[in-house]
Amino acid sequence: QVQLVESGGGLVQPGGSLRLSCAASGSIFSFTYMGWYRQAPGNTRELVASMSSGGSANYADSVKGRFTIFRDSAKNTVSLQMNSLKPEDTAVYYCNARRRRSMVENYDYWGQGTQVTVSS
């Protein structure tokens, strides 16, 4: 029932900027966390940035100072502003939303992924 839809990916030159957006639909509950993961060919999936329902943000060391996450919990949307993009940022970016089932059990929802390519 819950669906996450990403938008905003594309091709950009090094040093450029992109903004990714994600909207969750069909949810009758709040998400403990919403954020973004990415996976490049041959690499494992890694957390890029996330924000808790309380507004606490977490960033991967590789993007600190360049990326900023925004979340509107009331609308169940999350965005990622990416500045000073580097070729190594090239990856498929996935929106993620985590629901707390209990104090010891969570469930993750994922978007379909959007390609970000940083190249000259």
| Interval 11-62: pLDDT, tens | 999 999 999 999 999 877 789 999 999 999 999 999 999 999 999 999 999 9
Q: Please give the structure tokens belonging to residue 81.
A: 């502003």
Q: How much is the pLDDT for 40?
A: 96
d(CA 78, CA 19): 11
In the chain, DSSP assigns E strands to: 3-7, 10-12, 18-25, 33-39, 46-52, 57-59, 67-72, 77-82, 91-100, 106-110, 114-118
Nearest to 113 by CA among 47, 22, 15, 43: 22
Give the per-residue pLDDT at 6.
96
Across 84-107, average pLDDT: 95
